[in-house]
Amino acid sequence: MNQLTSSKSGSLKGTITVPGDKSISHRSLIMGAMAVGESTVTGLLEGEDVLGTAAALRELGADIYKDDYGNWHIHGVGIGGLNQPQKPLDMGNSGTGVRLLMGLVATHPITATFTGDESLCSRPMKRVTIPLTDFGAQFSGNEVGTLPITVKGANMPMPISYKLPVASAQVKSAIMLAGLNTPGITTVIETIPTRDHSERIFKYFGVPIQIEGDNIHVTGQVELKARNMAVPADPSSASFLIVAALITEGSDILISNVGINPARTGLFKTLIEMGGDIKFENERQECGEDVADIRVKFSNLKGITVPPERAPSMIDEYPILCIAATCATGKTVMRGIEELRVKESDRIAIMVNGLKSCGVTVEEHDDGMTVSNSVAYGNEAIKTSLDHRIAMSFLVLGLCAEKPVTIDDGSVIETSFPGFVELMNSVGARIYP
């Protein structure tokens, strides 16, 4: 166990860069592996989740390595060229990695076993395996549909048309990736928009893709040519610095090169509606993604009711929004977010319990929570349930709490935000073992 403690700090100041976007990092490795030739990726998130995807793709035949300058090189196998792995693919804690790679493997004539850590092995996979079965893939494992799962890819995959029953970019992307090695046109019907990184990177790599209203059409079995990618900074990671600056008096920070894909900026919109002083500077587009530098200053926040339809664009950011809500006058109501119960942990229950243990007034709902303005009094050991976003959120709370906040295990932070503690402390935070 690697306990970490944060305590009340002075103002946060400085210009910083957070690690690369996790969602785009996973997809850049996968698309590079499916292309013919050598792709180069700069800014790749080197967290455990993404490195696990790189390791799995090596087992599937791609040559992936990092050079002395920090750039990543991918020599792809081409569509249909995946190799039979010689050992189980251990995806650690990465739900994105395992679901996307299941989709990729499902339409290749190989067999692969996917496993992961205790947390990942408790998370639902039927939402992915059910549509992938329609392609002709076969899945074997336990009755509840959790890892470990063995995938026997289809010898002659058939294109499908599938309407998503839940808003999930991971499920959508798994189907789209399965469509890459499927003849004809695969269609995903998405009635509630989710993050569109897969659509953007498919276009960037030259995949024939058409978007007509709610329908996403992918034409399979075309040759993809290698491309160079620059991964922007992860807006989900930036959110911890943004909230930290908003709630710490006198703060003024600039976060460089952050992805501002409209499907990912729900938290930014919410914080601005709460009165947050957040400005987007030097807006531009790189490799098909919208990017900007974000300046954030301390603000007097007010509670709001977050529109439930905004949830898909900020589903990973509700834990850190709870911290902002603690410091906002009035109540902040968050509903329509039951998806949080099947993330790395039951994020609704874990956040509610942790906030209560710090003296925060919070009400749990089946589909969310309501957080009231409170003076946080700290806690000796918040249980994070091996959830990186829970861990970072409570460390941010410690910056404005009356007493230090301690989390039971900070090692899990490395899955998505390597160097989090060092970066926070570099702008004035006080986080220590």
Give the residue from 230, 256, 274 where a domain finishes.
230
Q: Enumerate the β-bridge partners of residue 111.
A: 152
Checking if the pLDDT of 29 tops 70, the result is yes
Backbone angles phi and psi of 6, in degrees to 5: -125, 150
Q: What pLDDT does 34 receive?
A: 98
Cα gap 261→56, rounded to integer Å: 27
Give me the amino acid identity at 192: I
Q: What is the DSSP string of 259-303?
A: E--GGG-HHHHHHHHTT-EEEEEEEEEETTEEEEEEEEE----B-
What is the average pLDDT across 390-410? 96
Checking if the pLDDT of 86 tops 80, the result is yes
The average confidence (pLDDT) of the chain is 96
Is 193 found in the same domain as 55?
yes
Q: Enumerate the β-bridge partners of residue 368.
A: 365
Chain segment 98-157, per-residue pLDDT in tens: 999 999 999 999 999 999 999 899 998 999 999 999 999 999 999 899 999 999 999 999
What is the average pLDDT across 327-355? 95
Catalytic, out of 316, 346, 366, 387? 316
Phi and psi based region of residue 329 (left: phi greater than 0; alpha: psi -120 to 50; beta: remaining): beta
Q: What pLDDT does 342 receive?
A: 86
Give the residue from 230, 258, 290 where a domain finishes.
230
Q: What pLDDT does 206 receive?
A: 96
Is 312 found in the same domain as 179?
no
Is 252 found in the same domain as 191?
no
Q: What is the DSSP string of 32-75?
A: HHHSBSEEEEES---SHHHHHHHHHHHHTT-EEEE-TTS-EEEE
Checking if the pLDDT of 366 tops 70, the result is yes
Q: What pLDDT does 286 receive?
A: 87
Is 200 found in the same domain as 61?
yes
Active site residue 316: yes
What is the average pLDDT across 24-45? 98
Chain segment 178-190, per-residue pLDDT in tens: 999 999 999 999 9
Checking if the pLDDT of 167 tops 80, the result is yes
Q: What is the DSSP string of 105-123?
A: HHTSS-EEEEE--TTGGGS
Is 45 found in the same domain as 15?
no
Checking if the pLDDT of 256 tops 80, the result is yes
| Global pTM value | 0.88
Give the residue from 230, 259, 288 where a domain finishes.
230
Listed residue (196, 199, 185, 193) closest to 213, CA to CA: 193
Q: Enumerate the β-bridge partners of residue 187.
A: 161, 217
Q: What pLDDT does 1 receive?
A: 63
Is 210 found in the same domain as 124?
yes
Kind plus residue range of the DSSP H or E element containing 151: strand 149-152
Cα gap 228→72, rounded to integer Å: 10
Is 296 found in the same domain as 344?
yes
Q: What pLDDT does 345 receive?
A: 87
Chain segment 200-226, per-residue pLDDT in tens: 999 999 999 999 999 999 999 999 999
Task: Output the domain CATH number for residue 375.
Answer: 3.65.10.10
Is 362 found in the same domain as 219?
no
Q: What pLDDT does 134 receive?
A: 98
What's the structural domain count of the chain? Answer: 2
Listed residue (297, 300, 247) closest to 274, CA to CA: 300
Cα gap 406→6, rounded to integer Å: 7
Chain segment 268-306, per-residue pLDDT in tens: 999 999 999 999 999 999 888 999 999 999 999 999 999
Is 215 found in the same domain as 242?
no
Cα gap 182→280, rounded to integer Å: 41
CB neighbour list of residue 94: distance below 8 Å, 6 or more residues apart:
26, 48, 49, 50, 52, 53, 116, 120, 415
- The answer to whether 259 and 205 are in contact (CB under 8 A) is no
Q: Which domain holds residue 48?
A: 22-230
In Å, how far are 61, 348, 412 from 83, measured between CA atoms? 5, 40, 31
